[in-house]
Amino acid sequence: MKRSSIKDIAKMAGVSVATVSYVLNRKEGQRISEETQKKILEIAETINYTPNKIAKSLKTSKTKLLGLIVADISNEFYSHIARNLENKALKLGYTLIIGSSDENADKFKKLTELFSQQQVDGMIVAPVAGSEKTLENLINIKYPIVTIDRYLKGVAIPGITIDNQEIAESTTSLLLNKDFDKIIYIGYETELPHLLDRQHGFEKAVRSSKKTVETQYLLVGLENIAHEVHSQLENMLDKKPENTALYFSSNKLAVAGLSYIVKNNIKVPEQISVLAFDETDAYQLFPSEISYIQQPIEEMAEEAIKLLDRQINDYTETGKKIRLSAKFVNKQSVKK
Protein backbone atom coordinates (compact mmCIF):
# COMPACT_ATOMS: atom_id res chain seq x y z
CA MET A 1 0.00 0.00 0.00
CA LYS A 2 1.40 3.37 -1.05
CA ARG A 3 2.28 5.76 1.77
CA SER A 4 0.27 8.99 1.75
CA SER A 5 2.46 12.01 1.02
CA ILE A 6 2.41 15.77 1.43
CA LYS A 7 1.79 15.99 -2.33
CA ASP A 8 -1.44 13.98 -1.90
CA ILE A 9 -2.66 16.36 0.79
CA ALA A 10 -1.73 19.41 -1.31
CA LYS A 11 -3.64 18.05 -4.31
CA MET A 12 -6.74 17.26 -2.26
CA ALA A 13 -6.67 20.63 -0.47
CA GLY A 14 -5.93 22.61 -3.64
CA VAL A 15 -2.85 24.29 -2.16
CA SER A 16 0.91 24.14 -2.67
CA VAL A 17 3.18 21.50 -1.13
CA ALA A 18 4.98 24.29 0.73
CA THR A 19 1.71 25.40 2.37
CA VAL A 20 1.00 21.86 3.58
CA SER A 21 4.55 21.57 4.94
CA TYR A 22 4.21 24.84 6.86
CA VAL A 23 0.95 23.71 8.45
CA LEU A 24 2.02 20.14 9.36
CA ASN A 25 5.32 21.28 10.82
CA ARG A 26 3.66 24.08 12.78
CA LYS A 27 5.92 26.71 11.24
CA GLU A 28 5.08 30.26 12.23
CA GLY A 29 5.32 33.47 10.25
CA GLN A 30 3.27 32.28 7.29
CA ARG A 31 -0.04 33.95 6.41
CA ILE A 32 -2.23 30.89 6.03
CA SER A 33 -5.89 31.24 6.89
CA GLU A 34 -7.36 29.24 9.76
CA GLU A 35 -9.82 27.70 7.30
CA THR A 36 -7.01 26.41 5.07
CA GLN A 37 -5.06 25.11 8.06
CA LYS A 38 -8.11 23.28 9.36
CA LYS A 39 -8.77 21.76 5.93
CA ILE A 40 -5.19 20.50 5.59
CA LEU A 41 -5.17 18.95 9.07
CA GLU A 42 -8.54 17.25 8.48
CA ILE A 43 -7.33 15.74 5.17
CA ALA A 44 -4.09 14.55 6.83
CA GLU A 45 -6.12 12.83 9.53
CA THR A 46 -8.58 11.32 7.04
CA ILE A 47 -5.87 9.68 4.93
CA ASN A 48 -3.82 8.64 8.02
CA TYR A 49 -0.81 10.65 6.94
CA THR A 50 2.38 9.90 8.87
CA PRO A 51 5.63 11.74 8.13
CA ASN A 52 8.50 9.87 6.52
CA LYS A 53 11.09 9.92 9.28
CA ILE A 54 13.99 9.07 6.97
CA ALA A 55 13.21 11.91 4.58
CA LYS A 56 12.69 14.26 7.51
CA SER A 57 16.00 13.27 9.07
CA LEU A 58 17.85 14.08 5.85
CA LYS A 59 16.55 17.65 6.06
CA THR A 60 17.05 18.13 9.80
CA SER A 61 20.18 15.93 10.21
CA LYS A 62 18.33 14.33 13.14
CA THR A 63 16.66 10.91 13.23
CA LYS A 64 15.33 11.20 16.81
CA LEU A 65 16.81 7.72 17.42
CA LEU A 66 19.06 6.93 20.38
CA GLY A 67 21.22 3.85 20.85
CA LEU A 68 21.58 2.07 24.20
CA ILE A 69 24.29 -0.54 24.79
CA VAL A 70 24.07 -2.44 28.08
CA ALA A 71 26.36 -5.17 29.35
CA ASP A 72 23.65 -7.80 29.84
CA ILE A 73 20.00 -7.07 29.06
CA SER A 74 18.94 -10.24 30.94
CA ASN A 75 20.17 -8.66 34.18
CA GLU A 76 17.23 -6.96 35.92
CA PHE A 77 19.32 -3.90 36.75
CA TYR A 78 19.93 -3.20 33.06
CA SER A 79 16.41 -4.08 31.98
CA HIS A 80 15.10 -1.55 34.52
CA ILE A 81 17.64 1.01 33.28
CA ALA A 82 16.48 0.39 29.69
CA ARG A 83 12.80 0.78 30.57
CA ASN A 84 13.40 4.05 32.40
CA LEU A 85 15.63 5.41 29.63
CA GLU A 86 12.96 4.53 27.07
CA ASN A 87 10.31 6.40 29.06
CA LYS A 88 12.50 9.49 29.50
CA ALA A 89 13.55 9.43 25.84
CA LEU A 90 9.95 9.26 24.60
CA LYS A 91 9.11 12.43 26.51
CA LEU A 92 11.73 14.25 24.44
CA GLY A 93 10.54 12.67 21.19
CA TYR A 94 13.28 10.04 20.89
CA THR A 95 12.98 6.33 20.13
CA LEU A 96 15.45 3.97 21.83
CA ILE A 97 17.27 1.10 20.08
CA ILE A 98 18.80 -1.40 22.51
CA GLY A 99 21.77 -3.75 22.19
CA SER A 100 23.54 -6.05 24.67
CA SER A 101 27.34 -6.39 24.53
CA ASP A 102 27.51 -9.49 26.77
CA GLU A 103 30.68 -8.05 28.37
CA ASN A 104 32.49 -8.50 25.03
CA ALA A 105 34.62 -5.61 23.71
CA ASP A 106 34.35 -6.76 20.06
CA LYS A 107 30.57 -7.00 20.26
CA PHE A 108 30.48 -3.59 21.96
CA LYS A 109 32.44 -2.11 19.06
CA LYS A 110 30.18 -3.76 16.45
CA LEU A 111 27.08 -2.38 18.19
CA THR A 112 28.49 1.16 18.12
CA GLU A 113 29.19 0.73 14.41
CA LEU A 114 25.70 -0.66 13.78
CA PHE A 115 24.05 2.23 15.63
CA SER A 116 26.18 4.71 13.69
CA GLN A 117 24.99 3.14 10.43
CA GLN A 118 21.41 3.50 11.70
CA GLN A 119 22.18 7.23 12.08
CA VAL A 120 21.25 7.37 15.74
CA ASP A 121 21.61 10.89 17.11
CA GLY A 122 23.62 9.67 20.10
CA MET A 123 24.36 6.70 22.36
CA ILE A 124 24.09 5.80 26.03
CA VAL A 125 26.49 2.98 26.90
CA ALA A 126 27.61 0.78 29.79
CA PRO A 127 31.23 0.30 28.65
CA VAL A 128 32.98 -3.06 28.94
CA ALA A 129 36.61 -3.82 29.77
CA GLY A 130 38.79 -3.22 26.71
CA SER A 131 36.41 -0.77 25.00
CA GLU A 132 38.59 2.31 25.58
CA LYS A 133 39.70 2.65 21.95
CA THR A 134 36.14 2.33 20.65
CA LEU A 135 35.00 5.13 22.96
CA GLU A 136 37.99 7.32 22.15
CA ASN A 137 37.22 7.02 18.42
CA LEU A 138 33.69 8.27 19.08
CA ILE A 139 35.03 11.16 21.17
CA ASN A 140 37.44 12.14 18.38
CA ILE A 141 34.60 12.53 15.87
CA LYS A 142 32.54 14.43 18.49
CA TYR A 143 29.81 11.79 18.53
CA PRO A 144 27.21 12.44 21.25
CA ILE A 145 27.73 9.74 23.87
CA VAL A 146 27.06 9.24 27.59
CA THR A 147 28.11 6.40 29.88
CA ILE A 148 25.74 5.01 32.51
CA ASP A 149 26.44 2.91 35.62
CA ARG A 150 30.05 2.35 34.53
CA TYR A 151 33.07 4.40 33.52
CA LEU A 152 36.57 3.73 32.21
CA LYS A 153 39.62 5.48 33.61
CA GLY A 154 41.30 7.93 31.27
CA VAL A 155 38.29 8.22 28.94
CA ALA A 156 36.68 11.67 29.17
CA ILE A 157 33.03 11.04 28.40
CA PRO A 158 29.99 12.55 30.14
CA GLY A 159 28.56 9.90 32.41
CA ILE A 160 26.26 8.91 35.24
CA THR A 161 27.60 6.82 38.11
CA ILE A 162 26.79 6.25 41.77
CA ASP A 163 28.90 6.59 44.91
CA ASN A 164 30.06 2.95 44.74
CA GLN A 165 33.01 3.24 47.09
CA GLU A 166 31.20 5.36 49.69
CA ILE A 167 28.07 3.18 49.88
CA ALA A 168 30.19 0.02 50.02
CA GLU A 169 32.27 1.51 52.83
CA SER A 170 29.25 2.60 54.89
CA THR A 171 27.39 -0.71 54.52
CA THR A 172 30.55 -2.68 55.35
CA SER A 173 30.93 -0.56 58.48
CA LEU A 174 27.37 -1.53 59.39
CA LEU A 175 28.35 -5.22 59.19
CA LEU A 176 31.53 -4.64 61.17
CA ASN A 177 29.51 -3.08 63.98
CA LYS A 178 27.44 -6.28 64.22
CA ASP A 179 30.46 -8.16 65.59
CA PHE A 180 30.52 -11.03 63.10
CA ASP A 181 33.27 -13.62 63.41
CA LYS A 182 33.73 -13.69 59.64
CA ILE A 183 32.74 -11.43 56.70
CA ILE A 184 33.15 -12.72 53.14
CA TYR A 185 33.22 -10.27 50.23
CA ILE A 186 31.89 -11.88 47.03
CA GLY A 187 32.96 -9.97 43.92
CA TYR A 188 34.48 -10.23 40.46
CA GLU A 189 37.94 -10.70 39.02
CA THR A 190 37.69 -7.58 36.89
CA GLU A 191 39.30 -4.39 35.63
CA LEU A 192 36.03 -2.44 35.60
CA PRO A 193 36.55 0.60 37.88
CA HIS A 194 32.99 0.80 39.26
CA LEU A 195 33.20 -2.79 40.57
CA LEU A 196 36.69 -2.21 41.96
CA ASP A 197 35.32 0.89 43.72
CA ARG A 198 32.92 -1.38 45.62
CA GLN A 199 35.75 -3.68 46.68
CA HIS A 200 37.92 -0.71 47.67
CA GLY A 201 35.06 0.64 49.81
CA PHE A 202 34.82 -2.73 51.58
CA GLU A 203 38.59 -2.82 52.13
CA LYS A 204 38.69 0.77 53.41
CA ALA A 205 36.00 0.07 56.00
CA VAL A 206 37.84 -3.03 57.22
CA ARG A 207 41.17 -1.15 57.48
CA SER A 208 39.69 1.76 59.43
CA SER A 209 37.65 -0.42 61.81
CA LYS A 210 38.77 -1.11 65.35
CA LYS A 211 36.86 -4.40 65.30
CA THR A 212 38.75 -7.68 65.02
CA VAL A 213 37.05 -9.79 62.38
CA GLU A 214 38.20 -12.36 59.86
CA THR A 215 37.64 -11.16 56.28
CA GLN A 216 37.84 -13.30 53.17
CA TYR A 217 37.41 -12.66 49.44
CA LEU A 218 35.53 -14.80 46.97
CA LEU A 219 36.25 -13.47 43.47
CA VAL A 220 34.85 -15.04 40.30
CA GLY A 221 34.99 -14.49 36.55
CA LEU A 222 32.07 -13.32 34.43
CA GLU A 223 31.26 -16.83 33.21
CA ASN A 224 29.99 -19.86 35.17
CA ILE A 225 29.19 -17.56 38.09
CA ALA A 226 26.84 -19.91 39.93
CA HIS A 227 29.26 -22.86 39.74
CA GLU A 228 32.21 -20.78 40.96
CA VAL A 229 30.25 -19.18 43.81
CA HIS A 230 28.91 -22.57 44.96
CA SER A 231 32.29 -24.34 44.87
CA GLN A 232 34.14 -21.55 46.67
CA LEU A 233 31.47 -21.09 49.35
CA GLU A 234 31.68 -24.81 50.03
CA ASN A 235 35.37 -24.41 50.79
CA MET A 236 35.02 -21.20 52.79
CA LEU A 237 32.01 -22.04 54.97
CA ASP A 238 31.74 -24.64 57.71
CA LYS A 239 29.10 -27.36 57.44
CA LYS A 240 27.10 -25.40 60.01
CA PRO A 241 28.29 -21.80 59.68
CA GLU A 242 27.64 -19.41 62.55
CA ASN A 243 27.88 -15.62 62.97
CA THR A 244 29.04 -15.04 59.38
CA ALA A 245 28.11 -12.30 56.90
CA LEU A 246 28.19 -12.46 53.10
CA TYR A 247 28.61 -9.20 51.16
CA PHE A 248 27.57 -9.67 47.50
CA SER A 249 28.76 -6.93 45.12
CA SER A 250 26.00 -7.58 42.53
CA ASN A 251 22.52 -9.08 42.40
CA LYS A 252 23.73 -11.81 40.04
CA LEU A 253 26.30 -12.95 42.59
CA ALA A 254 23.68 -12.72 45.34
CA VAL A 255 21.24 -14.98 43.51
CA ALA A 256 24.03 -17.55 43.01
CA GLY A 257 24.92 -17.38 46.70
CA LEU A 258 21.33 -17.58 47.88
CA SER A 259 20.74 -20.75 45.84
CA TYR A 260 23.73 -22.30 47.66
CA ILE A 261 22.26 -21.24 51.01
CA VAL A 262 18.87 -22.79 50.19
CA LYS A 263 20.46 -25.99 48.90
CA ASN A 264 22.42 -26.43 52.13
CA ASN A 265 19.56 -25.48 54.47
CA ILE A 266 21.49 -22.57 55.98
CA LYS A 267 19.32 -20.22 58.04
CA VAL A 268 19.30 -16.47 57.32
CA PRO A 269 19.99 -14.43 59.39
CA GLU A 270 20.33 -16.92 62.30
CA GLN A 271 23.51 -18.53 60.88
CA ILE A 272 24.48 -16.26 58.00
CA SER A 273 23.63 -12.62 57.28
CA VAL A 274 23.31 -11.44 53.67
CA LEU A 275 23.78 -7.99 52.13
CA ALA A 276 23.71 -7.42 48.36
CA PHE A 277 24.23 -4.71 45.77
CA ASP A 278 21.09 -4.07 43.68
CA GLU A 279 17.64 -5.55 43.97
CA THR A 280 15.99 -8.26 41.88
CA ASP A 281 12.60 -9.97 41.83
CA ALA A 282 14.43 -13.24 42.54
CA TYR A 283 14.94 -12.11 46.15
CA GLN A 284 11.19 -12.53 46.67
CA LEU A 285 11.58 -16.31 46.27
CA PHE A 286 13.89 -16.46 49.28
CA PRO A 287 12.35 -17.11 52.74
CA SER A 288 13.94 -14.00 54.31
CA GLU A 289 13.69 -10.51 52.83
CA ILE A 290 17.12 -9.57 51.50
CA SER A 291 18.87 -6.37 52.61
CA TYR A 292 20.26 -4.57 49.56
CA ILE A 293 21.82 -1.41 48.17
CA GLN A 294 19.37 0.40 45.93
CA GLN A 295 20.66 2.41 42.98
CA PRO A 296 18.62 5.48 41.89
CA ILE A 297 17.72 3.98 38.51
CA GLU A 298 15.04 6.50 37.52
CA GLU A 299 17.28 9.45 38.38
CA MET A 300 20.21 7.86 36.53
CA ALA A 301 18.06 7.48 33.41
CA GLU A 302 16.75 11.04 33.59
CA GLU A 303 20.21 12.57 33.97
CA ALA A 304 21.64 10.41 31.17
CA ILE A 305 18.94 11.47 28.71
CA LYS A 306 19.42 15.12 29.67
CA LEU A 307 23.18 14.92 29.15
CA LEU A 308 22.81 13.24 25.78
CA ASP A 309 20.08 15.60 24.58
CA ARG A 310 22.31 18.59 25.39
CA GLN A 311 25.16 17.10 23.37
CA ILE A 312 22.88 16.36 20.42
CA ASN A 313 21.68 19.96 20.47
CA ASP A 314 25.24 21.30 20.40
CA TYR A 315 25.68 22.20 24.05
CA THR A 316 29.14 21.39 25.36
CA GLU A 317 29.14 18.55 27.91
CA THR A 318 32.63 17.14 27.33
CA GLY A 319 33.73 14.92 30.17
CA LYS A 320 30.98 15.99 32.58
CA LYS A 321 30.39 13.39 35.29
CA ILE A 322 27.32 13.16 37.50
CA ARG A 323 27.59 11.01 40.60
CA LEU A 324 24.39 10.06 42.40
CA SER A 325 23.84 8.52 45.81
CA ALA A 326 22.68 4.96 46.41
CA LYS A 327 20.89 3.96 49.61
CA PHE A 328 20.82 0.94 51.89
CA VAL A 329 17.47 -0.83 52.22
CA ASN A 330 17.58 -2.84 55.44
CA LYS A 331 15.32 -5.88 55.44
CA GLN A 332 15.50 -9.16 57.38
CA SER A 333 18.69 -10.81 56.12
CA VAL A 334 21.15 -8.96 58.41
CA LYS A 335 21.07 -9.88 62.10
CA LYS A 336 19.82 -7.22 64.49
Q: Please report the pLDDT score of residue 42 as a whole number.
A: 85
Whether residues 68 and 158 share a domain: the answer is yes
Element (H, E) at 218: strand 214-220
Task: Judge whether 320 lies within some domain.
Answer: yes
Alpha-carbon distance of 300 to 278, in angstroms, equals 14
The three-class DSSP label of residue 329 is strand
Same domain membership, residue 174 and residue 265: yes
Say yes or no: 307 and 257 in one domain: no
Domains: count for the chain: 3
Which residues is 272 bridged to in the sheet?
244
Would 333 be classed as within a structural domain?
A: no
DSSP 81-109: HHHHHHHHHHHTT-EEEEEE-TT-HHHHH
Same domain, 158 and 301: yes
If asked whether residues 191 and 312 sit together in one domain, one would say no
Nearest one of 219, 212, 208 to 182, comparing CA atoms: 212
Q: Are residues 154 and 204 in the same domain?
A: no
Around Cβ 270, how many Cβ atoms within 10 Å?
Answer: 11
Say whether both 208 and 318 belong to one domain: no
Instruction: State whether 305 and 222 are in the same domain.
Output: no
Would you state the pLDDT for residue 54? 41
Q: What is the CATH number of the domain that holds 307?
A: 3.40.50.2300
Is residue 334 one of the residues assigned to a domain? no
Q: What is the pLDDT of residue 132?
A: 95
* Residue 19 sits in the same domain as residue 129: no
CB-based contact 79:107 (threshold 8 Å): no
Q: Is residue 331 part of a domain?
A: no
pTM: 0.80
Range of the domain at 267: 164-295
Q: Are strands 272-277 and 321-324 parallel, antiparallel or unpaired?
A: unpaired
Give pLDDT, residue 166. 98
What local confidence, expressed as pLDDT, does residue 44 receive? 83
Provide the pLDDT for residue 176.
96
Interatomic CA distance for residues 232 and 220, integer angstroms? 9
**CA–CA separation, 70 and 140 (whole Å):** 22
How confident is the model at residue 2, as a pLDDT?
53
Q: Note the pLDDT of residue 297.
A: 97
Within this chain, do residues 154 and 91 fall inside the same structural domain, yes or no? yes
pLDDT tens track of the chain, all 336 residues?
A: 456 778 888 888 898 888 887 787 665 556 788 888 888 888 887 776 766 544 444 444 678 999 999 999 999 999 999 999 999 999 999 999 999 999 999 999 999 999 988 889 999 999 999 999 999 999 888 889 999 999 999 898 999 999 999 999 999 999 999 999 999 999 999 999 999 999 999 999 999 998 889 999 999 998 889 999 999 999 999 888 999 999 999 999 999 999 999 999 999 999 999 999 999 999 999 999 999 999 999 999 999 999 999 999 876 666 689 999 999 999 999 998
Residues 42 and 72 in one domain: no
321: in domain: yes
Provide the CATH number for the domain around residue 32: 1.10.260.40
pLDDT score recorded for residue 196: 97
Q: Report the C-alpha gap between 292 and 217 in whole angstroms.
A: 19
DSSP state of 289: P
**Residue 56 placed within a domain:** no
In this structure, are residues 144 and 134 in contact, taking their beta carbons and an 8 Å threshold? no
| pLDDT for the residue 52 | 53
